[in-house]
Structure 1
Amino acid sequence: LPVARAGDPAYAAGTPARVLGWGDTRGDGSHSPVLLAADVRMISDTECATAYPGGAEGRFVRGEMVCAGLPAGGADACQGDSGGPLVAEGRLVGLVSWGVGCGLPGKPGVYTSGAMVAQRIGLSG
């Protein structure tokens, strides 16, 4: 799976994306026995920074993190999905990292940026 680099249109706000994992689906800490997928959309850095300005809920860091979710909530990664892929336009755009709750309105999932990881480990185009 190719990694989307900085500036790739796959990161654009509104781009459809899919997150995969075996994490919690019921809010009780149990994990799925099968790989599941949730369809979300990429969220702008500005919107994500507004949702996570710092404090108890965490702070979004531009350039190191990306966000994805749905405005009304309902689809998201959850506990147990950490490290799983976020894929948009056939490219890896992020790795599940953190969030507030799971699938809550106004609280998108936060992902480690695929572009940042690629740059830090020296992947070439």
Structure 2
Amino acid sequence: MCAGPACRPSITVTGWGRTRQLAATLPEELQAVPLPVTTGDACKATYSEPGDPFSLTGRFCAGPADGSKTICEGDAGGPAVRDGVVVGIVSGGRGCGLPGSPAIFSSTAYWGSWLQSQ
């Protein structure tokens, strides 16, 4: 049985957002970054507040624990792709590349019926 980060799927996220926190300019070329999908527990631990637990319903998180690669301002709404299929849409996160702050994605599988009805 496989366990640990090497066994979790990774996604590729593309966007035109800033390449680092507080960058003064936006990139001139489309950026792409592979991100490991985090565990639900890690995501909940990051975004839950006292008395207000973070719900993963229709969402998932991705990004390395060290924050070395992630989304940033301007990436919201962009695709998260795995094996040529859009599996998520960038929703947000906390900062850009902050350790212990994975990015949040809306799950296209969960929201598929709603998306098709629009």
The question of a shared fold, defined as TM-score above 0.5 by the shorter chain, is answered with: yes
- Are the equivalent residues in 1 in contact too, given 2:20–2:72 (CA < 8 A)? no
Deviating above 6 A after TM superposition, structure 1's stretches of 4 or more consecutive aligned residues are none
Q: In the alignment, does 2:87 pair up with 1:87?
A: no
- Are the equivalent residues in 2 in contact too, given 1:29–1:79 (CA < 8 A)? no
> What letter is aligned with 2:31?
L
Shift of 1:29: 4.7
**Structure 1 residues 59 and 24, CA, compared in 2 at 3 Å: closer, same or farther?**
farther
What is the TM-score of this pair, normalised by structure 2? 0.81
Instruction: Provide the aligned length of Structure 1 versus Structure 2.
Output: 109
Q: Which has the larger radius of gyration?
A: 2
The root-mean-square deviation of aligned C-alpha atoms, in Å, is 2.1
Q: CA–CA distance in 2 between the matches of 1:40 and 1:78?
A: 13
Q: Which has the higher contact order (CA 8 A, sep 6+)?
A: 1
Q: Match of 2:114, SS?
A: helix
Mark the runs of 5 or more structure 2 residues left unpaired by the alignment. 1-6
- Are the equivalent residues in 1 in contact too, given 2:20–2:96 (CA < 8 A)? no
User: Counterpart in 2 of 1:74?
Assistant: 68
**Structure 1 residues 90 and 72, CA, compared in 2 at 3 Å: closer, same or farther?**
same
Q: In the alignment, does 2:3 pair up with 1:19?
A: no
User: Counterpart in 2 of 1:37?
Assistant: 32
Mark the runs of 5 or more structure 1 residues left unpaired by the alignment. 1-12
- Are the equivalent residues in 2 in contact too, given 1:23–1:30 (CA < 8 A)? no
Q: In the alignment, does 2:51 pair up with 1:51?
A: no
